[in-house]
Structure 1
Amino acid sequence: MKIVLTGSLGHISQPLTTLLVKAGHQVTLISTDPHKKSRILALGAQPAIGSIGDLPFLLQTFNGADAVYCMNPLDFSSRDLDAWDNHMDHYVQAIRATGIRRVIVLSGWVAHLLQSYHPEKKFEALPGVSVTFVRPGPFYSNFYHLKEMIRHQGNIVSNYGGADRIAFVAPEDIAAAIAAEIEAPAVTGFKPLYVVSDELTCNEAAQIIGEAIGMPHLQWLTVPGEQVKQGLEASGVSPEVAALLVEMQEIMHNGKAQQDYHLHQPVRGKQKLSDFAREYATWYHQN
């Protein structure tokens, strides 16, 4: 198949490219960075340098593809959530114009439950197309962003945590699930696909990470959303995005995410948090 991937050489798209090329597919990988051309070519894929915000570029790149993987890179400094919606609009327009019948959309564990941002709804304008909404839980790689918090506060702090049970996931397992989904028989309509690597309470996750980095008493504390929002804004996150992140975390705390998740059979990955924690500990002490 001819497959177009977005996400450049990110945590999901790079291993996904490797898997699909190995399976014999003709892969085009979109990146905004021309300096990544050589790395993309080394993976066996064709680079397409441009922006998903550029509709003519997207139309040209999608033309002739059998399947596309669509993700929306998040800009935490952005004050304009409409720009994120515009990216989704461009995807829908390009898919419709080029006649693509197989679409994989990276959504999220709670994205379909948000009041302020509706990434999946845009694709409802594609009747007759096979659309899979991939809904992974929090990425293991998110712990990289918590390094300074752990070092300076001695805890993980958010408006979910403690005994909240979370479907954590390794990006490599998401890539494997997407590759399998692309190769599975397509069924017209909309389908959610949950992906999980390790179901743990936040306390259990904190203990695993803490023991790996030499902080066995590391805790994951739950604080009010407004306090989290203020901290995010102080770190440079725009008020609009901070409010969105707090809303996402509240859905994980109040049980709505878990309720919807348990209505579906998730794809279970192979990498446990304890596996990631060993890699994380090496990185944590070197940076």
Structure 2
Amino acid sequence: MRIAITTPNGNVGRHLIRMLVRVGVRPVLLARHPAQIARELRPLVDIVEADSLDRDEVVAATRGIDAVYWVNPSPMTADPLAEHARASEAIVGAVRANGIRRVVFHSSVGAEKRHCVGGIDGLAATELSLDALDVDVTHLRCGYFFSNLTRHLAAIRQGEIDTVLRVDHAFSWVAPRDVAEMAALCLLDDGWQARHVRAVHGSRDLSWRDVTRILFDHVGNAVAARQISDAA
């Protein structure tokens, strides 16, 4: 089986590559910056330079591919839905042009609402685009990454994390490695067909208040969560 992985240097991709290599798969990595692929992996993978927002590059990079782990790149402009739409066009174009039969799509909790969830609406639109194809597709609706806490390191050191959510509102969290394990299972298992949705969550939901208590146990200094307005 020829398996392609997008965002190979991402939080999930870097784990997924190693999992596939360990079971004997030589994955094809679609990378915007091939030089960033870890040196020890290069003899064990095939690397193709491709931007996941460029339909033509994705089509060219996925010729001969049987299955693909697809991630919409994190939007970097003021119009995230437009960027998600470009990513959708790229994977749909590749599936149609190259006869790819299986897609594992990295989606998110909230995509099931289909609208009014901010940038997640773009993931919902990609789900719908893939569902319209006559291929086997699994959507991984993932919780909030624990690794996202690294974005708050300065705030953690200062003792206060800002959030637009209620600080006592519990929601799903997950470790990127756990997402990679689920993606690997879906890519390697040929016993499923049609459309599937898998929730990929941690062992329990956590509020920001819960998280700050856990941080205190590990970093030693008190950390508080503060709700701020959407405008702020």
Normalising by structure 1, report the TM-score: 0.72
Query: Of 168, 175, 191, which aligns to 2:173?
Result: 168
Query: Of 198, 206, 210, which aligns to 2:212?
Result: 206
Shift of 1:180: 1.0
**Letter of the aligned partner of 2:57 in structure 1?**
F
8 Å Cα contact 1:105/1:134 also seen in 2: yes
Question: Is 1:223 equivalent to 2:231 in the alignment?
Answer: no
What is aligned with 1:119? 126
What is aligned with 2:31? 31
Shift of 1:80: 5.2
What is aligned with 1:93? 93
Shift of 1:195: 1.0
Query: Of 183, 196, 199, which aligns to 1:194?
Result: 199
What is aligned with 1:134? 140
Shift of 1:209: 1.4
Shift of 1:182: 1.3
1:138 to 1:38, Cα distance in 2 relative to 1, 3 A: closer
8 Å Cα contact 2:52/2:73 also seen in 1: no
1:204 to 1:38, Cα distance in 2 relative to 1, 3 A: closer
Query: Of 150, 155, 164, which aligns to 2:156?
Result: 150
Query: Of 183, 189, 204, which aligns to 1:184?
Result: 189
Q: Structure 1: how far apart are the matches of 2:191 and 2:64? A: 18
Q: Structure 2: how far apart are the matches of 1:173 and 1:139? A: 10
What is aligned with 1:277? none
What is aligned with 2:164? 159
After superposition, what is the alpha-carbon deviation per residue over 1:162-192, rounded to whole angstroms, capped at 9, x for unaligned? 2222221110111011101112234332211
Q: Structure 1: how far apart are the matches of 2:100 and 2:57? A: 16
- Partner SS state of residue 126, structure 2: coil
What percentage of residue pairs aligned between the two structures are identical?
A: 25
Shift of 1:140: 0.7
Q: Structure 2: give runs of 5+ residues left out of the alignment.
A: none
Q: How many residues of Structure 1 are paired with residues of Structure 2 in the alignment?
A: 224
- Partner SS state of residue 58, structure 1: helix
- Partner SS state of residue 119, structure 1: helix
Q: Structure 2: how far apart are the matches of 1:103 and 1:186? A: 14
Shift of 1:87: 1.2
8 Å Cα contact 1:29/1:40 also seen in 2: no
1:38 to 1:150, Cα distance in 2 relative to 1, 3 A: closer
Q: Structure 2: how far apart are the matches of 1:80 and 1:137? A: 19
**Letter of the aligned partner of 1:45 in structure 2?**
V
* Superposition CA RMSD, Å: 2.0
Question: Is 1:51 equivalent to 2:51 in the alignment?
Answer: yes
Higher alpha-carbon deviation: 6-15 or 206-215? 206-215
**Letter of the aligned partner of 2:83 in structure 1?**
A
8 Å Cα contact 1:92/1:125 also seen in 2: no
1:13 to 1:120, Cα distance in 2 relative to 1, 3 A: same
Which is helix-richer, 1 or 2? 1
After superposition, what is the alpha-carbon deviation per residue over 1:119-174, rounded to whole angstroms, capped at 9, x for unaligned? 312212213x110011110001110011223334x222212242222221110111
Q: Structure 2: how far apart are the matches of 1:119 and 1:12? A: 19
1:126 to 1:40, Cα distance in 2 relative to 1, 3 A: farther
